């Protein structure tokens, strides 16, 4: 078959000297050269300036498909050419699916490329020194709010890297209480970031970023270590009342990314041994996101339970809730999300759902923990429903370890 003839509509053939597109025209397609040579140039007639000559394997005309700007250069076949056509839709779908930072970097480099084309044409057509014009230096992407947000995220990411190195992270602990007698049974560790420039940054603002960049692994290791050290101290200061468990537990939030580390369970076991903490006093709080990669998650959870750690399903009732997880995977406790707790007094439907979750949990032999208990009314309803453990501002806000020691010395039931 003649390589320069085709009936395929994705292939275009160009004659020697044929213009493929011109500067300023709409960008409707890009091309991959299969055979022949293509000249890319700016200007026209005797003022035309050749920018490059492309051959088989090269792509051209892609810039306009990415940023939807008109062509900033022209393309002409230097000999008979055969090209594969790439449609705008093919590119748009892939760009849309890419990471926002990658999109920003592409638009920055496209801007530089276009600015270079414009500037090059100006200096070639001028006999004296020409300074770059505003058209060259003005960066459209700087004004785009979406791009500004991405830049802000990059800054947050580098600040977070600094935070890890400069000891700006701090563990806080929120006590958990037995619903039966209001005594402390354990704690949840919650990360805090005291940033010199931003003030106190909420974990909701930086945990997802740490997860995207894998920074969550060293941060998660550090928080686990602090949790073991502080649990040991809290246990040493604790005087159990009649009917209270002999040891307090520590719940630690674990991201999916941490669980995916091949030696997560061994590392955790080594840590508890180093600080003399029993694995059964550590509850790993995982969210249902972990089940997106089901087989691996079930195996990792099983490994941790076999090593003696407890596993709690966090934020239950939100996001990816599926009862099939409860059927397939053995866990120890179920944590009702605060969005449900806070509606039980005002929404009849929320009340029915929470009561049903507690029933299911009991029948499966799981401990039920309700978070976000803010009022005596919340507490009373949950106690009547048979919820085992409660956590929320009604009992205590998250506190630094020194605050927990003070709180333990003066627990709510003994307060005036």
Q: Out of ligand C2E, Ca ion, none, which partner does residue 275 contact, by CB within 5 to 8 A per kind?
A: none
314 lines the binding site for Ca ion (CB under 5 A): yes
253 lines the binding site for Ca ion (CB under 5 A): yes
Q: Out of ligand C2E, Ca ion, none, which partner does residue 72 contact, by CB within 5 to 8 A per kind?
A: none
403 lines the binding site for ligand C2E (CB under 6 A): no
- At how many degrees (to 10) do helices 145-165 and 216-237 cross? 50
Task: Give the residue with the Cβ less far from ligand C2E, 73 or 256.
Answer: 256
Query: How many Cα neighbours within 13 Å face the side chain of 66?
Result: 18
Q: How far is CA 267 from CA 14, 186, 200, 225, in A?
A: 63, 23, 30, 10
Closest distance to ligand C2E from the beta carbon of 349 (Å)? 20
202 lines the binding site for ligand C2E (CB under 6 A): yes
Residues 266-285 that bind Ca ion (CB under 5 A): 285
> Contact region for ligand C2E (CB under 6 A) — 12-20, 106-114, 297-305, 388-396?
388-396
Task: Give the residue with the Cβ less far from Ca ion, 43 or 400.
Answer: 400
- At how many degrees (to 10) do helices 294-306 and 264-275 cross? 20
Alpha carbon distance 180, 388 (integer Å): 7
* Residue 171 φ then ψ, to 5°: -85, 135
Site pattern 315..354 for ligand C2E (x: CB under 6 A): x----------------------x----------------
If binding means CB under 5 A, how many residues of this protein chain bind Ca ion?
5
372 lines the binding site for ligand C2E (CB under 6 A): yes
Residues 221-260 that bind ligand C2E (CB under 6 A): 223, 253, 255
Task: Give the residue with the Cβ less far from Ca ion, 72 or 391.
Answer: 391
Residues in contact with 257: Cβ distance below 8 Å, sequence separation at least 6, in sequence order: 211, 214, 216, 217, 220
159 lines the binding site for Ca ion (CB under 5 A): no
398 lines the binding site for ligand C2E (CB under 6 A): yes
> Among 181, 393, 409, 413, which residue sits at the site for ligand C2E (rule: CB under 6 A)?
393
203 lines the binding site for ligand C2E (CB under 6 A): yes
159 lines the binding site for ligand C2E (CB under 6 A): no
Task: Give the residue with the Cβ less far from ligand C2E, 189 or 368.
Answer: 189
> Contact region for ligand C2E (CB under 6 A) — 33-41, 189-197, 297-305, 357-365?
189-197
Alpha carbon distance 335, 35 (integer Å): 63
> Contact region for ligand C2E (CB under 6 A) — 101-109, 203-211, 319-327, 353-361?
203-211
315 lines the binding site for Ca ion (CB under 5 A): yes
If binding means CB under 6 A, how many residues of this protein chain bind ligand C2E?
22
Alpha carbon distance 10, 14 (integer Å): 13
> Among 23, 39, 310, 371, which residue sits at the site for ligand C2E (rule: CB under 6 A)?
371
Site pattern 273..312 for ligand C2E (x: CB under 6 A): ----------------------------------------
Residues 57-76 that bind ligand C2E (CB under 6 A): none
186 lines the binding site for ligand C2E (CB under 6 A): no
190 lines the binding site for ligand C2E (CB under 6 A): yes
- Per CB under 5 A, residues contacting Ca ion are 253, 285, 314-315, 337
Contact footprint for ligand C2E (CB under 6 A)? 174, 189-191, 202-204, 207, 223, 253, 255, 314-315, 338, 371-374, 391-393, 398
């Amino acid at each position: 078959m003649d390589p320069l003839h085709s009936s395929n509509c994705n292939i275009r053939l160009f004659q020697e000297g044929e213009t493929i597109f011109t500067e300023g025209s709409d960008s409707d397609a890009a091309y991959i050269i299969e055979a022949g040579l293509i000249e890319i140039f700016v200007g026209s007639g005797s003022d035309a300036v050749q920018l490059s000559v492309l051959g088989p394997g090269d792509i051209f005309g892609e810039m306009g498909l990415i940023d939807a700007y008109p062509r900033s250069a022209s393309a002409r076949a230097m000999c008979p050419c055969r090209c594969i056509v790439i449609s705008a839709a093919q590119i748009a779908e892939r760009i849309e699916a890419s990471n926002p930072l990658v999109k920003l970097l592409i638009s920055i480099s496209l801007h530089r490329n276009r600015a270079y084309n414009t500037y090059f044409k100006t200096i070639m057509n001028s006999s004296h020194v020409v300074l770059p014009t505003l058209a060259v230096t003005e960066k459209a992407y700087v004004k785009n709010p979406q791009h500004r947000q991405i830049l802000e995220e990059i800054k947050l990411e580098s600040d977070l890297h600094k935070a890890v190195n400069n000891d700006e992270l701090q563990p806080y602990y929120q006590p958990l209480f037995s619903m039966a007698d209001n005594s402390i049974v354990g704690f949840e560790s919650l990360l805090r970031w005291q940033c010199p420039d931003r003030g106190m940054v909420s974990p909701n603002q930086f945990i997802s970023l740490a997860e995207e960049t894998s920074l969550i692994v060293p941060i998660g290791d550090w928080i686990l270590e602090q949790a073991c050290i502080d649990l040991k101290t809290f246990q040493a200061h604790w005087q159990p009342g009649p009917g209270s468990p002999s040891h307090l537990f520590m719940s630690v939030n674990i991201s999916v990314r941490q669980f995916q580390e091949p030696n997560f369970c061994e590392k955790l076991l080594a840590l508890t041994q180093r600080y003399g903490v029993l694995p059964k006093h550590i509850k790993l709080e995982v969210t249902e996101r972990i089940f997106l990669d089901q087989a691996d998650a079930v195996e990792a959870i099983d490994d941790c339970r076999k090593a003696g750690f407890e596993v709690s399903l966090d934020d239950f009732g939100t996001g990816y809730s599926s009862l099939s997880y409860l059927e397939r995977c053995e866990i120890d406790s179920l944590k009702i999300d605060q969005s449900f707790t806070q509606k039980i007094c005002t929404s009849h439907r929320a009340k029915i759902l929470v009561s049903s979750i507690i029933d299911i949990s009991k029948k499966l032999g799981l401990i039920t923990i309700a978070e976000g208990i803010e009022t005596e009314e919340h507490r009373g309803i949950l106690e009547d429903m048979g919820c085992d453990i409660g956590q929320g501002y009604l009992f205590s806000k998250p506190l630094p370890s020194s605050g927990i020691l003070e709180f333990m010395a003066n627990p709510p039931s003994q307060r005036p």
